[in-house]
Each structure stands twice: as structure tokens, then as C-alpha cells.
Chains A and B, each alone.
Chain A
């Protein structure tokens, strides 16, 4: 099965967007998950709701909100473009942002659960042994939350790979720049002779999805084995 250069580009782009979206979300995901799991602060309910919003909103709405905020003339988009030269609109980075936002709730949820499962007295113990909060976080909390981090990353990656609505609304469907596998399949199904190409990309999608499932299964087993050691 040979893919045309155009299709290959879409596959390549999809993987790149999903990987970047996952890796870029991870630090924020860990921070937000830790804050939600461990801290009490005003506006916690609001933050929790905000994080989960993309899960319940129609993806098109999320995409449009991103366009309003991160578009050329959006408040955040204009600020980032002027000060850091980071442009999201109609770029693959925008697609990564949209995918990251859509996958964020899944990631935060998994990490938060694993942090909440850690006995706080382990962190207390680290404190009495001389470890300051940052050291305790790095030496105790983070390693113990590792299974959650891995599961959260895989969920975010899978979500990013399949994202369609928010991405196409925010950064459109530009071949070579923002056209992911999903967007490409959609385009091919709208063109008269696109059936074969759509089918090929569908097969590629299935292969990637199966691969992700296998990896996630392996990670799950690894995590369970680790946890069994802990018991």
C-alpha cells in the first residue's frame, strides 16, 4: 500500500502534532493536577470546571473560543505574536494547541487520580527527613505518580491524534500545515475520486490506533507491576 506524498504529509503532521501537543501539555498537566489534588485555594472549582470544559463543549465551540483568544487579533494570540513571535492561527502549532487543549482534561484527570492516591504522610516523611517541598515533589510525589503520568500522556496523545472539530475550526484544513489525517480523510470523502485515498488513510489510522493501544497496554502492565512491588 503506497501513500501519496500528500497523504504521507498528513500522517507525518498528525504524529508530530499529537506528540508536541502531549509533551507541551505535560508540565501544565502535572502542575494543574497537583494543584487540584493537593492545594486548597479560592477558585479551585472554577479551575476544575475550566479544565474539564473541552470535554463537554462541542469541539467546534472550543475551536472557536481558541480562535477568539489565540487568533491574530485575539488578546493572547496578539500578545504572543508581538512579544515572542509565536503564531498559532493557521499553523501546525495552532493544531497542536487545539489538540493539547482537547486532550488536557483526560491528562489532568489521570495524573490527579494518581497523585490523590499517594499517602500524604509519605510526603510528610520526606519533609521530616530534610527534603524541602520541591525535593519532596521530585523524589517522592512524581515517581509515585508515574503510572498516572504515563496513562495521562497516552490518553492525551490518542485524543490529539483523533481531534478534528476544534482543530479544523481554529486552524482550518491547510494541506501540509494543518491538515491532519482526520482532516485529510474528511477532505477526500468530499472529493469525487477520493474514496481510495480516504480508505488508505483510514487503514493508517487503524494501524496507529492499534499501535497506541498495544503501547498503552504494555505501559499499564508495567505500571501495575510497579504498583504490585509497592504494595
Chain B
């Protein structure tokens, strides 16, 4: 369990953060400059806070009032950087084993082999980091942090430097690590999809402060607009159950009480709960059930809330039959012409092509989503 309550002033930027996590994956979410990486640096011990406490499993790592400061090497907290930071003069194998050597023998819980297997880096062991691709480097970096058997793993935007394809390759690996090795993770990201797939809880940071905190559904349930993201980053999360796979057309059917959600590709075993990320710009609203449209997913609900300012756009929160919310983006003009207001029944249309297996976070087999 990690408990953070710290303050630090860096020039004109003031950081004042407090949150705790009981394990699993907690995400620090927010735009760049919101203080995510600064928080990671404080937890790892690379920087000292001006005031406050950071405690891991009840042991104070920093306590400015008591004058406690545990240096990074004694914290046993793994850190995965955005840009791998592998040791260029060591082979992949020796990079992986670097931290293991320093871990006390009794605490070497994580062996090299399972990590190498999970990450699929067995064929790279004898190579030098210089010859690896970006995705390979990042997998080795994740492995290196794991093999040191940390008590907490910090991941500072580990996918941000990778292209979309590499991201989709590594994201499932991180999901597997989360489920197989059971290390608490603090995951920093400004990508909604990553947070939705990996984290159970999220702390939203803005301007060096905690803007919101709680379960992913609660925090992002209505809207993530408060995180100051562009409209293309606004998204909502709908929890559904995998109903089956349509092999003829290559689609996956998700059951939700408000309607069937179709997505392109094959996701999860039937019966498994999952969380679908739906971008607000992919949702169209209709006042009656449409016909003659190519859209397959039609969810019925009622408008719960409309968020609009003087700009041309509005965010509409639609209550889905009492089982979560979906966020839609529309122009204020459209709202006006359709006379949409809170309480109105509407149909939320979602293009199947906008959703695929990458939009789906399967609930860990052990814990409910």
C-alpha cells in the first residue's frame, strides 16, 4: 500500500498531491505539465519534497517532519521510464539481472525466466540495447524493473514514445504482468485508453493538484472533460459482458442492458466482463430508433446532463438504462435543433468500426471490473 501526501515548489510550478492505493494498478492521469512525472520522481526518491510524507506498506520513505529520507536504492521501487534508459554497455541479459543482484536474497520473488517468457524477449538476451527496436527496448526496460522484485512498480508513460502498433503489442503484456506478478503499479499516462485498460483506480492531476480520484468508472463515468483534454480525447467507459463472437463477419457481441454493442475483431472469452472505451466523437445521438443506417450499435438511454460553454461544441452525458453512462459530443446547434435537454430519451449510435478489441479492457479473472 502506498500513501502519498507531498508538496514541492519547482520554480513557478507548485505540486501539492495526496492519494493512496491499496494495490492493483492506480493511474496518474492528466495532461503534460500537470505534475505526473514530478510525482513519480518523488515516489522513486529521485527528488525530495519540500514537505509531506510518502509511505510504502506502512514504512515511511519520506517524512519531512521527522527528517526521514530513504535514498532511491534502498526503496525497492521499480521505475520504467518513457524512453527505456537501458544500460548501453551491458547485454540485455545483464540489464535484466542488474537489479536482481542488489535485491536481498530473501526478497528475490521474481525470477528471470517467467519475466522473459511473459515479455517474449528470450531471443534478445545476448544482444546490446543499441540494436533493439523501440518496442523491444521498452519490453526489456519493463523486465529489468520487474526482475529487481520491486515492492512497487512505477511506470512513467511507458508507451508514450512508441507508435500505435507497438503500443498495442505492449499494452496486453502490461495487463498480463499486472495479473501474473501481482505487483502494485502506479501507472502514469495521458492516454484515456491505457488508463481504462490497465487501472482500477485513477487520480486525475491538473496544475499540480488532484482534480479527481476514485474508480475509473466513477472518475470517467460521466466525462473526462475536466482533465482539460481536447474533444478527441474525451471518452467514456461502458461495462458490458462478452456475449459471443460472430465468426462469419468477424465481430464481437457485447451484451448491455441498453442494447447490444458490436465491435470489430475478436475480444475476450464469452461471459467475461469488460470495459469498453468509447470516444465521445464516435457517438451520434438520435431522437428515434434509426433505420437504413450502417450503424449496428444502438443503445437507448436518457440525457442525464449537458455540458456546454460558449464554444460550438457540447458534451452530452447519456444515462444507459441505469447501467453507466456514455459520453457524446455534438454541436450546440444540433442540440438546439433537436431540442435535446436533460430527461429526454435518446438513442446513442456507435459505429462498429470505431470499436475493436483494443478498445476493450477485460476484467482481471480474479477481480470484478
Interface residues of A (CB under 8 A from B): 119, 121-122, 124-133, 135-136, 139-140, 143-144, 226, 228-231
Contact = CB atoms under 8 A, between A and B. Distances in A.
A144 B72 contact: no
A140 B79 CA distance: 17
Interface string B136-164: 00000000110010000010000000000
B105 to A, nearest CB: 13
A228 B89 CA distance: 11
A130 B99 contact: yes
With most chain A CB atoms within 10 A of its CB, the pick from B88, B98, B130 is: B88
B49 interface: no
A122 B85 contact: yes
Contacts of A131: 73, 98, 102
A129 B88 contact: no
A42 to B, nearest CB: 20
Interface of A is mostly: helix
B103 A130 contact: yes
Contact of B89 (A125, A130, A133, A143): A143
Given A130-B99, A130-B102, A230-B130, A124 B72 contact: yes
16 contacts: A121-B85, A124-B72, A124-B79, A125-B85, A126-B87, A128-B45, A128-B154, A129-B145, A129-B148, A130-B74, A131-B102, A132-B73, A132-B74, A133-B73, A226-B89, A228-B130
Contacts of A125: 79, 81, 85, 87
B102 A135 contact: yes
A230 B89 contact: yes
B83 to A, nearest CB: 8
Interface in B315-367: none
A139 B98 CA distance: 10
A225 B29 CA distance: 41
A139 B101 CA distance: 12
Contacts of A144: 88-89
Contacts of B148: 128-130
B241 interface: no
Nearest to A226: B89
Interface in B93-128: 98-99, 101-103, 128
Contacts of B75: 128
Contact of B99 (A121, A124, A129, A229): A129
Contacts of B85: 119, 121-122, 124-125
B225 interface: no
B71 interface: yes
B186 to A, nearest CB: 13
Contacts of B101: 130
A121 B73 contact: no
A130 B76 contact: yes
With most chain A CB atoms within 10 A of its CB, the pick from B46, B75, B154 is: B46
With most chain B CB atoms within 10 A of its CB, the pick from A121, A129, A131, A143 is: A129
A158 B163 CA distance: 49
Contact of B88 (A130, A132, A133, A229): A229
Contacts of B301: none
Interface in B242-288: none
A129 B102 contact: yes
B44 interface: yes
Interface string B56-99: 00000000000000011111111101000101110000000011
A136 B71 CA distance: 13
Q: List 8 tightest A-B contacts by C-beta distance, closest first.
A: A130-B102, A129-B99, A230-B88, A127-B72, A128-B79, A125-B85, A143-B89, A132-B73
Given A229-B128, A230-B130, A127 B73 contact: yes
A126 to B, nearest CB: 7
Contacts of A226: 89
Contacts of A119: 85
A143 B88 CA distance: 10
B46 A127 contact: yes
A136 to B, nearest CB: 8
B199 to A, nearest CB: 21
Contact of A140 (B73, B77, B87, B129): B87
A132 B72 CA distance: 8
Nearest to B150: A128
Given A122-B87, A127-B73, A132-B73, 13 more contacts: A124-B85, A125-B79, A125-B87, A127-B72, A128-B79, A129-B73, A129-B102, A129-B145, A130-B76, A130-B99, A130-B148, A131-B102, A144-B89
A126 B77 CA distance: 11
Contacts of B102: 129-131, 135
A128 B44 contact: yes
A136 B46 CA distance: 14
Nearest to A230: B88
